[in-house]
Structures are given as structure tokens and as C-alpha cells.
Structure 1
Amino acid sequence: MEENKQVYRLQGLSCTNCAAKFEKNVREITSVEDVQLNFGAAKLTVQGAATIDELEEAGAFDGIKVYPDNRREPEKKQSFWKKRENITTIISLFFTVVGYVLYFMLDESHPATVGAFISAILIGGYSLFKVGMKNLLKLQFDMKTLMTIAIIGAAIIGEWAEGAVVVFLFALSEALESYSMEKARQSIKSLMDIAPKKATIRRGSATMEIDVEDVRIGDILIIKPGQKIAMDGEVVKGQSSINQAAITGESIPVHKTAGDEVFAGTINEEGSLEVRVTKRVEDTTIAKIIHLVEEAQAEKAPSQQFVDRFAKYYTPAIMIIAFLVAVIPPLLFGGSWSEWVYSGLAVLVVGCPCALVVSTPVAIVTAIGNAARNGVLIKGGIHLEETGRLNAIAFDKTGTLTEGKPEVTDIVLLTDKSESEILSIAQSIEQFSQHPLASAITRKAIRVHAESYQADGFISVTGKGAKATVQGVEYYIGSPTLFEDILDIGSKVREKISRLQADGKTVMLLGTETKVDALIAVADQIRKSSKTIIHKLHELGIKQTVMLTGDNKLTGNAIGSSLGLTETKAELLPEDKLIAINNIKEKYGNVAMVGDGINDAPALASANVGIAMGGAGTDTALETADIALMADDLEKLPYTISLSRKTLAIIKQNITFALALKIVALLLVIPGWLTLWIAIFADMGATLIVVLNSMRLIKKDVL
């Protein structure tokens, strides 16, 4: 099945109705088994053996061009003024103006005047009529069908001038909608242009420049200062500062040296680097981001689903209303046929659901593109909307609010042994352990150049610590509980332990069966930005910020209060975190869970929005979370919430405005004030305002 799947890029896909019709036409091709059209990304996925000619024929009604997805040829950029449909719009305007000049100079019914208006209608409305008439014969009622009926009706009752204006304004509206959609799609196109198309590599002793599609895993990339990195890989030689803003949104370059991971599309700022390629071009982080952003833009948000359902019933309802307006007054109340048919046509025009249909997708596509450029991957419109409605946020502690790398903060000596000797004994035992606290002791011992001792007979005491013989003496290292089982540690030692724990530190004891030699306090360092970010979230109106941690209550509460969190839940197992998320959801409504995307998977899945940090480094985070913050930092969380809220507000404004303007225009029918002019201005004006309002989301910073 997969072998038969073809992916194409589309040019000239101008509106949502055209997209739906194109998809239907493609589906009717006999060799096509299935088809998926992504309007936001202008991307077509076809299951079957359809040729490009067949696909372009299916889209001929809208001048749609089809290109293979993997073709690297740059798309031909056409000036707005050189597009055929825009040229015909300008010619239509010219003949409309000529018609009005003759209207005032000669007469409304003069052949020259009528001729100018007919020219404007035929030139500007040719493509509209072609589609509209076909739809009318098939009884398919979309916007172009409604407009065709309205213009033919205007011609029949002799309203040539208004027919010409309607054609021009509709063509202008379509051109502007197409232009704005292209601008929105630039967010993806700009992402696709981030990574270079060629790479300089070394294979064996030969150095060559080749297309990135031909680069193999294991090839060595040669990257000079100022160059973009073409592929994901691992630095094997050299060191440099790398600007990762294109992937993670971080403004400050990150220092990279041998063993560090680098990403395609990032910029090498100073030193020369040699990088071993670890992923093929289609698997790089930027390729995954592009794919996920396109998928996200195809997924319909709840408000868009509502609009689609509404429009389904709305269009036939408008046609019935227009028919009744045209027929009932003349039949039942002796009204003038020409006057009420005219009003019925105006109702048809004002009833076009253009503004309503574009109210949501343009906003969603633009916002998701903006987020991607800022290092935030939002996996769909539904997650964007859910984030805009958040009342509470739960945070995993380790690696999210803290650095996730514990450090030794205090060594309290209780005998005559020196600090260096204590570290030497502790390191000799802990070198056999995989526990994060053990690695903190090892790092500290290396930093102070503690002497290296040999430990024999290492035994792990599950959940409590370990013991081993060092220089002929059996030493224990571990939690206070381990020592309480061996000897009475005394009230003074207990007091010192409690004081350290109250500061949010984990305390280990080192000693023998008869005495405690030292207390070693270890703490996971709080991220410098965490406190500021929590403050920003509260300013944004997030009612509840909760830390979920497996640490003891003293440590958890100390960190929670220092960060200004509203609540801390400590000593939690993974299943307890899931229960905690459900409790927060019941109490506060919409809740997000922020973690690393690997641990705490049940809690991330249970929350309304699962937000993973460090998406650039982990495929798991990209795949499992609803939203991935590409940098390993919370800095982008307030931005994401702000963007989501602004998007929600804009969608609501768009839907409200589009419907309100229609209702006001329709009410003008009652006193007989609704003209074709007012109708088309109401329709085009609503579409234009909705589109321009959505385009405000293109701005990089929304905070």
C-alpha cells in the first residue's frame, strides 16, 4: 500500500471550497484508491497510480498546479500583479469604470454603457461562471454557484452596472483570500528553506559537495565558520558556538564540542567542525518539525468543525431565504417583481459564507507556523485551542523546574576526617552505583581532586544505600533510614539532617557501624528562569501551578515555595501523578502537564494538553506530546499560552463579526435598503477583515 502512495505540493489552491472540490475530483479518478488534501500546507497525498496530468486536470477549474513533494526545483514565484486572475480583475475594473463614465455621459441603457458593463462581467467573471454553471447543472451549491445565479439574475432584470461591480468585488475578494493564504503558508515554506540543500562531506580520503538526499549515515560533514549545518549529527572534532534559534527558538548560541548533538538548519558561528551524520535527510529534526506542522495545520480545530457543520446547513438556508424574499412579496402582497427579485439576489450575495469559512483555518495555520518559527511545535488546532483555555499547569520537578543534575551542596563533618577524605571514601563506594546522587558525589570528588581509594565487597542496600570496605574499614553510605537501622545517630545529627532537608536538600550519611563520619547534602539545582516563568504564568491568569515530584515533602515544599508555586504534591509514584492530574482537572478544569516527554507518560496523556520539553533532542517528545518546546527550557511556555489565547480570541472575533455583518445586511431587506452593492461590500468586507485579523498572528512576539 505504502509503495503506491504519492505526495505532491500544490500551487494555486485558493480557497477552502476549491480545495474540497479538487479533493472530490481527484477521488473520482479511477486509479485513485484514497486521497488526503491538506489545505493549510497545500499538500496532496494520493494512494493510487494517478498521473500529474490527471491531477492537474482535476484542478483545472481553479488553475491548480501539481508538483512532486521531493522535487527540489524552486517554485516559480509570480508577482501578485502578474497572476492571470488578478490581471482579469484589473481589466474588469477598467471596463466597470468606463461603464460608469458612459453611464453619466450618455445613458444607463445606451448600448455603449451596457457593452462596457457586459465586458466587465464576462472578463472578470469568466472563470466564476464556468465553475458556477457546472455546479448549477449538478445542483452543487457553493459560493460560486450563488454568485453566478446573482449575476445572471442582475443581468435579466437589467442591473448591468451592479452586476459588473459584483463581479469585480468578488474577483478582488478571491484574489485577496488567495494572497493571504499564501502568506500564511509561508510559515512552512520558510521552515523548508532553513536547512541547506547541499552538504560538504568526507568519505574516506575524498571530500565532496553532494545533495543532502545522497548523504549517508556515518558520513563526516565538514562545517566551516558561518555555514549552516546540513544534517543532524554528532560532533567528532572541533568546538564552536551554534545558533539553534531556527530549531529551538533560543536566541543565545549554544557551545558545542566533541560528543554533542547538532541539528540541520542551525548555524555554525565561529570554529570549524567535523560532524558524523546520524540521521537521513527525511529523519532530521527539521524534517520532522515540517511534517508535524503540516499535519497539525490539516487537523481541524473544534471551532473549525463547528463552522464547517454550520456552513453545510447555512448555504441551503440562504438559498431558501433568497427565493422566499424574491417570490413571497410579489405573489402575496402585490410587490414589484423586479424590485423583490433584486432583493432576493442581494440576499444570495450577502449570504455567501466566504468570511465564515476562512474565519478559522487562516488563524490556525498562521498561529501554528508562528509557533514553529519560535521553537514551539503545536501538534494541531485542537491543542492550540485547549492551551488557550488552560486554568492550571502541573510540572514534573526533575529536569523541568530544576536542571535535573544534582550537585553536592554541603558536607557536614562529624569526626576529625577532612572533607577531601570523606569525598574519597564516598566516591570509592558510589562509583559502583548508577544512582543520580552517586554521580553528584563522583563529580564533586573529581572537581576537588580527591584521592582515589579502592573499595572492596560492594553491596547495595535496596532503596537505602550501599556498603563496602575501604582501606580495611567497612563503611556505609545512604539515607538516614539506613543508619537508623544500624545505630542511634543522636538528636544533634537528626537536627542537622532536618535543617538541610528543610532547605530542599537530600541528605546522605557516611559512616561505620559505630559512628557517623559526615553528612553529604545533595540538591537538584533550580533553573534560573523557573521563578520568573511561574510569575509570568500567574500574570497571564493561570489560577493553579502545581509541582508533582517523587521527592520527600520537605524538599518538595522548599522548592515549591521558593518558586512561588500555588501547590506542591510530593512523594508521588507515576500512578499517583496520574491521580493528581485527574484531581486538578476536576477542581480547576483544563490542565496542562509539563514534563520531559519520556517519564510520566500517563500524566502527560491524561492532561488536556501534554507539553514536552527538549523536543529537539528526543524523538519521544516530538511523537508523544501535544506540544513540544524544542529548547530544554520553559522560556517558551508563557509565549505559547499567550499565542493560543490570542488565536482563540481572533477566531471568536472572526466568527462573531462574519455572522453579525451577515445578519445586519440581511435585516436591510425589510426596509428594502439592501442593494447588490451593499451585499457584495458586506461579503467582501467581512472576508477581508477576517483574513487581515487572522494575519495579526504572523507577528513573531505576541506577549
Structure 2
Amino acid sequence: MNDASTGKTRFRVGGMDCASCATKIENAVSRLPGITDVGISVSAGTMTVSHEGAVPSGEISRQVKALGYSVAMLGTARQQDRHGDKHEHGPSRSHDHADHAHGHSAGHSHGSDDARATNAGHDHFDLDDGPWWQSRKARLTIACGVALVAAYAIGLLLPQIGHWAFLAALAVGLVPVARRAFAAALTGTPFTIETLMTIAAVGAVFIGATEEAAMVVLLFLIGELLEGVAARRARASIRDLADLVPKTALVEEAGATREVPADSLRIGSLILVRPGDRIAADGVIIEGSSALDEAPVTGESAPKTKGVGDAVFAGTINTDAVLKIRVTAAAADNTIARVIKLVEEAQESKAPTERFIDRFSTYYTPLVLLVGALVATVPPLLGLGQWSDWIYKGLAILLIGCPCALVISTPAAIAAGLSAGARRGLLLKGGAVLEGMRRVTTVALDKTGTLTEGKPVVTDVIGVGRPEAKVLSLAAALETGSNHPLALAILARAKADGVPVPPASAAKAVAGKGVTGKVGGEDVFLASPGAAGEMATLSAELKDQIAAFNADGKTVSVLVAGKEVAGIIAMRDEPRPDAVAALAELKAQGIGTVMLTGDNEATARAIGKGLGISVRAGLMPDDKQRIVRELQQLGQVVAKVGDGINDAPALAAADFGIAMGGGTDVALETADAAILHGRVTDIPAMIALSKSVMGNIAQNITMALGLKAVFLVTTIAGITGLWPAILADTGATVLVTANAMRLLAWRGR
């Protein structure tokens, strides 16, 4: 969209800790002229406002402040910027099997506005940046507590003015709450927790329960404070990811190094990473070899040795040698930044259960007011007791009915689940995806780059009249300097085996046949079996061996030295080390699996046999999509896993599309979820996370409604009153939040 008068502006909102807070803010801001849409992420503490013309920041600030929250503008992103920039991606960003570059479509805005944080005149503690005890909620709670203690002291020393002392203590906590209730009512949200609290406290004063009213307000404020502390912890779990990336980097320029801010690094910059340092950007190693601790990013416990040509992630730790790295992604596009962006976007979308709870609470709060009014008036009108007793019970019901615990039960668990998944490299684009993933009955997987590593490796070396090491040495000599995948496989095997690689002269490629040259004065030709058969005689035994390798899905190269066959080398794109375990785990969960690949039948069948998975081979992109739809017509809930452009149609058609590894940008944009670090075992882990989150939500709703049901009965029976009623709500809120926060420790199996 190119209309310069239309834009989106993001705000940081302080003190917003639950879905009911978000509803009040959304209703208030959406009523302003020029505002077309308001999106709020409670877990990220942000608000995205779509507007026509200039953003009315002053009016937005006044509306939000009136509700008791603080606000600061983070930046403006014009609509046309969302897809306009193209970025270069390194190996950690995409796997392109056709050697083509893909434009970036993930939609990041990199203008200076996005880097600007304009404080709207509020102290920074209100924006959740300082210690929790310096927040606005903490200050109000402490002031109310001190006032209540003072009122008790005055009541003991001067009983005749004790009532007024408690009334003053009540006012300290209640006036801000009542002000927020009034502001919410004026801006479209009349039925709020603050409304119930205000009515209950004022009613208690009129029936002479001023002390109880003051204590109830204090307990309510304590509950809100604890809720805020829990929300801060959830936000911190994502913000901690940003802290993994160091603030500075050592850049090499013209043979000299200098320290620069990490966010100033550009694609193509060369950085030096010393032992013990964190890597400041996504990139590719161009010099050196070292063990990297990737646990902060991938969750892998053991360091991984990487050398020249290997991709590295920002935030990982170099353990034992100096590395020179070429940067492949700017700070706004590195692995950590992408994780944070995807999680924050996901947290802005509501799960079906959350949407249901929101709709339910819209009717629930007015119903609580009605029930409270009926309990307070009907029994005494029927002559069943004193007015004061039933009014007291009606007020207690208002407190019992506070929907806070119920409203927060789902979003707290969803936010914690999304955060826990992100820290393990499981990115889910929204609560609906996280909630629904548990229903998957069939997983359709691509082969290349998903079940397999996506690059060939040498599996067999057979010498004919020469040692295997000599065959590998001659082949590596011919392939030195080549970037062909098969050449890289031979060179990698030679390096791994410690085989010497002598220099080759007059090396050249022979179109459609292989590569030839002189090594140690000897003419050497590394060719396909057909081309080799034109130069040398292949024995029947050798032909049988080549046929057997081909049947196993392996590519065979024949080494001819002089006029004689010197040996054969077999290569294949091998399954990922964890593929068998992952498929077994899916089977144990009762989930079916199928491989959908464009590769040839023989290769696909060989891989499928080793993995124990059914195979559909030789497929075009539309064939994969058609098969997914056929499975759905059979009643299956299908998750499609892939990493390439040819997987995009099937990813979009599946109930849940999962992009594997870095993946192409097209796959990442089309998919509902992404497995960032290429572990096949993360597929059943993602489904297990969904089940854990939904189990947690069920526990939360049971606790929230169960406690209310118990105290509703005991209140009507006259067993409990105002204090236990607010303790029930506050306690339920704390229990629900604490239970949801348990998900932050989720690590899978």
C-alpha cells in the first residue's frame, strides 16, 4: 500500500498485565478519530495503532493515561515499507537448492523511525523498565498498606475517629481504582474489575464495613501487583533473548580491527570473534575452526565444532579459537531478532479459547452485577433476613465474581507457551496455531533439507587395486576449488579422514561427464559410471556394486587413473541423525507420517526404507498440495513440514504448515510455525508443547471457576464474607498466573 497518509505506529504500554487491561485500552484508543485498527500484545507490552494521517499521539497518551497506564511511542512504519526492502541472506537464512537468491518478504521496517523511542513524558518505571517495587502499582499498594496500618494504630489510640481513619485509608487505594473505572466506562468498557471493586467497597462503607472495605481494596491491589510481577517475568523471557547478542563487535577493515556497535554491522562486514566472546551477528565462517556453544539459541547442550563455510548464529558463544566471520544478516534480521519479532506477532493473535473467554467475560461481568443485586434485594424483600446481611452477601458476590483470574487463564498460558517454544527454537505464529497443533493426526514431511541434511556426504569409498585413502586423495585433488555439492562432499570426507590432497594440474570439467586433470604426473578422471565406461573397462562385479549403490539411492562417481579403474565413490544426502527417533516418537503418539518429495523414486524409497516411513516420490509442488488435500478429505488433520519454495503450496494448504530450519523466506512466510534449528525431533516436541499448554489452560480455568463456585456457596450460606471473597479472586489470579508461568520452564523431552 503506497498511501503515505496511512501508517502504523507502535507504542510501549506500561502496567498492562492481562487481557482485560488490553480490552480497556483497545476500546479507548479505537474510539479516537483517524484510528482504523488497534492491535495489542499483553505479553510484549505493546500496542500497534493503524491510523489515517498523522498519528494522534497526544490523544492516545491521554486516553491510555486516564485508564491508569503509561505509554511511550516506539516508532512509525509506513505500509509501503512492509515488503519493499530486499535483503541478502546467508546460509542460516535460507536453503536454496537451485542456487537462486530469494528476495526477503518477511516484512521488517528498518527506517530510523523504528529505532526511535519517544518517551511521552512518563517516568521510566511505569514502562516496566525498573524494579517491580518502583512501579506505579507497587507505589500505590505500599501507600495503601501504610495508610491501613496507620488507620489501625489510630483506631487503637483514638477509637472515636477510627472510622474516619479507615475511610481515609480506603480512599488512598480506592480513588485511583474508581478513577480508572470511570475512565473505562467513558471510553466504552463500563463493566470492569475496577467497577465491581468500586461498587463493593462503596457499598461496604454504607453498611458500616469500612475496615473490611479498606482491607479488600488492599488485597485487590496486592493481587494486581502480583499479576504485574508475573507479567514482567513473562516479558523478560523474551527480552532476555535480545540480551544474548553482544552490544559491540570487532570489525576488520583494511587489515586493522576496531570495535563498533553490533547494531551497526552491515551485510558483508568481516568480524573477529575471540574465544569466550558471543557472536554479534548471523554469518558464515571464512577463517578458523572452533567449538561453538549454541545452547543459548538452540538449546543444544554440547558445543558444536564449526569451520570455514559453516553458518553461525548471533548470540552463540565461541569457546576455543579465533574466528573470522562474514556477516550475512543485519541486526534487525538476525536469528534472535527474527525469533523475537515472530513471537511478539504471535502473541498479538488470540487463540480460539482466548477469544471465547473474552466473549464470555463480556456477558459474565454484567451477569455478576445482576446476581449480586438480586442476592442483596430479593431475600429481604421476601422477608428472609435483614437487609444489611443480604447486602453484605451481595457485595461479597461482586468480589467473588471478579473475572480477572478467568480472563488471564488462557492468555497467560499461551504467552508462556510461545515464549518457552521460542527459547527452544519452536516458533508458532499465534495462539490459534499453538492451541490447534495438538489435534494433528498426520505429518507430511519433505525429504531434502527436512528429513535429510540437504547436502550429499560420501558414504562409501572402494579401491580397485589401490588403497581407499589413495582413491579419496586423487578425487579430492581434482575437486579442489569446486563448489559443486558432490565436490564439496568429497573434500569434506578427505578433510575428515585426514587424507592428503596433492595439487592437480590442468584440471577441467568435462560437460555432462565429470572432471579430469593430472595428479602427480598421472592422468586422472572422476566421472559418472557411463562416462568412465567409455575410457576403461568396468568389471561385472564393479557394475553390480554400482547398481546396488544406485538402488540405495546413492550417486556413484568412478575414478579412472590412466586407463584403469582406480576406485568408486558413493554419495548420498543422508537422513538427519534424529530423524528415526522423531518418526518413532510421532508413531508412539498415534500420528501418521508420509514423505512427500520431488526426488526420484529409487532415492526416496531407499531413504524411506531406512527411516520406516511411507513415500510419495517424483512430486511437483502442486502434487504435494493435492496429496495434502486428499489426506484432509479423509478426515486427517495434516501438518506439512518443508523448507523450500516447492513446499510453499502444500504448507499453505495444510492445516498447519511448519517451515524447517532456516528455510526459504517463502516457506517461512507461508508456514504457520517454524522449527528454527532443523531438528526433526522438534516436530513431536511442538505437538507436545501444544498439549502441555492446553492442559495448563484447562487447569487454570478449573481453578478460576472452582474457587468461585466454592466461595459463592459459602458466602450465600453465611460462612464467608468480603475478605475471603477478595482472597478467592486474588488467590485464583495468583494461582492461575503462577501455574501458567510454569510453562516457561518447559524444555520438551
TM-score by length of 2: 0.77
In structure 1, distance between residues paired with 2:456 and 2:252: 40
In structure 2, distance between residues paired with 1:216 and 1:9: 28
Q: Which residue of 1 aligns with 2:89?
A: none
CA change 1:521–1:134 in 2 (3 A) is closer
In structure 1, distance between residues paired with 2:479 and 2:293: 38
CA change 1:620–1:271 in 2 (3 A) is farther
Query: Residue type matched to 1:9 in 2?
Result: R
Aligned mate of 1:633, from 658, 664, 679: 679
Structure 1 residue 225: Cα displacement: 2.5
After the TM superposition, which residues 134-145 of structure 1 pair with which residues of structure 2 at under 5 Å, given as runs?
134-135=183-184, 140-145=190-195
Q: Which residue of 2 aligns with 1:119?
A: 168
Aligned mate of 2:594, from 532, 546, 549: 546
CA change 1:62–1:412 in 2 (3 A) is same
| Structure 1 position 176 matched with structure 2 position 176 | no
Contact 1:392 1:588 in 2 (8 A): no
Contact 2:13 2:69 in 1 (8 A): no
Contact 2:39 2:348 in 1 (8 A): no
After the TM superposition, which residues 413-432 of structure 1 pair with which residues of structure 2 at under 5 Å, given as runs?
none
The Cα offsets for residues 193-250 of structure 1, whole Å up to 9 and x where unpaired, read as 2222333334446644333444444443333332222233344444433333333333
Q: Which residue of 1 aligns with 2:80?
A: none
The Cα offsets for residues 285-331 of structure 1, whole Å up to 9 and x where unpaired, read as 32222211110111111111111111112112222222222232233
| Structure 1 position 40 matched with structure 2 position 43 | yes
Q: What stretches of structure 1 of length at least 5 have no aligned partner? A: 484-488
Aligned mate of 1:24, from 27, 33, 39: 27
Structure 1 residue 439: Cα displacement: 7.2
| Structure 1 position 696 matched with structure 2 position 742 | yes
CA change 1:702–1:161 in 2 (3 A) is farther
> Quick check: 62-71 or 418-427, which moved more?
418-427
In structure 2, distance between residues paired with 1:508 and 1:224: 41
Structure 1 residue 354: Cα displacement: 0.3
In structure 2, distance between residues paired with 1:223 and 1:3: 43
Contact 1:221 1:277 in 2 (8 A): yes
CA change 1:257–1:168 in 2 (3 A) is same
> Quick check: 594-603 or 70-79, which moved more?
70-79
In structure 1, distance between residues paired with 2:460 and 2:291: 34
| Structure 1 position 595 matched with structure 2 position 647 | no
| Structure 1 position 382 matched with structure 2 position 428 | no
Task: Number of aligned residue pairs: give it.
Answer: 683
Contact 2:251 2:258 in 1 (8 A): yes
CA change 1:409–1:231 in 2 (3 A) is closer
Q: Which residue of 2 aligns with 1:92?
A: 144
Secondary structure of the residue aligned to 1:605 is: helix
Contact 2:219 2:730 in 1 (8 A): yes
| Structure 1 position 576 matched with structure 2 position 623 | yes
After the TM superposition, which residues 232-631 of structure 1 pair with which residues of structure 2 at under 5 Å, given as runs?
232-333=282-383, 335-409=385-459, 477=528, 500=549, 505=554, 522-539=571-588, 541-550=589-598, 556-565=604-613, 567-587=614-634, 589-615=636-662, 618-631=664-677
The Cα offsets for residues 631-678 of structure 1, whole Å up to 9 and x where unpaired, read as 233243343333222111101111232223333333445544452233
> Quick check: 268-277 or 651-660, which moved more?
268-277
Structure 1 residue 174: Cα displacement: 0.8
Aligned mate of 1:165, from 208, 212, 215: 215
Aligned mate of 1:191, from 217, 231, 241: 241
Contact 2:473 2:500 in 1 (8 A): no
> Quick check: 129-138 or 73-82, which moved more?
73-82
In structure 2, distance between residues paired with 1:75 and 1:123: 23
Contact 1:13 1:62 in 2 (8 A): no
Q: Which residue of 1 aligns with 2:72?
A: 66
Structure 1 residue 576: Cα displacement: 3.5
In structure 1, distance between residues paired with 2:543 and 2:255: 65
In structure 1, distance between residues paired with 2:256 and 2:545: 64
In structure 1, distance between residues paired with 2:596 and 2:263: 44
Secondary structure of the residue aligned to 1:59 is: helix
In structure 1, distance between residues paired with 2:135 and 2:526: 83
CA change 1:203–1:75 in 2 (3 A) is farther
Query: Residue type matched to 1:86 in 2?
Result: A
Secondary structure of the residue aligned to 1:528 is: coil
Secondary structure of the residue aligned to 2:455 is: strand
In structure 1, distance between residues paired with 2:509 and 2:299: 50
Q: Which residue of 1 aligns with 2:93?
A: none
The Cα offsets for residues 506-530 of structure 1, whole Å up to 9 and x where unpaired, read as 678999xxxx999875433233322
Structure 1 residue 450: Cα displacement: 10
| Structure 1 position 10 matched with structure 2 position 10 | no
In structure 2, distance between residues paired with 1:445 and 1:80: 58
In structure 1, distance between residues paired with 2:252 and 2:488: 37
CA change 1:232–1:558 in 2 (3 A) is closer
Query: Residue type matched to 1:534 in 2?
Result: L
Secondary structure of the residue aligned to 2:730 is: helix
Query: Residue type matched to 1:182 in 2?
Result: R
Secondary structure of the residue aligned to 1:225 is: coil
| Structure 1 position 79 matched with structure 2 position 128 | no
Q: Which residue of 1 aligns with 2:733?
A: 687
In structure 2, distance between residues paired with 1:444 and 1:94: 73
The Cα RMSD (Å) is 4.5
Secondary structure of the residue aligned to 1:633 is: coil
Contact 1:248 1:629 in 2 (8 A): no
Secondary structure of the residue aligned to 1:388 is: helix
Contact 2:201 2:213 in 1 (8 A): yes
The Cα offsets for residues 482-505 of structure 1, whole Å up to 9 and x where unpaired, read as x9xxxxx99999976775566565
Query: Residue type matched to 1:127 in 2?
Result: P
In structure 2, distance between residues paired with 1:416 and 1:271: 41
| Structure 1 position 228 matched with structure 2 position 233 | no
Contact 1:479 1:507 in 2 (8 A): no
Contact 2:474 2:502 in 1 (8 A): no
Contact 2:421 2:427 in 1 (8 A): yes
Structure 1 residue 572: Cα displacement: 4.1
Q: Which residue of 1 aligns with 2:81?
A: none
The Cα offsets for residues 401-445 of structure 1, whole Å up to 9 and x where unpaired, read as 2233334545789x99999999999999999x9996787679889
Secondary structure of the residue aligned to 1:13 is: coil
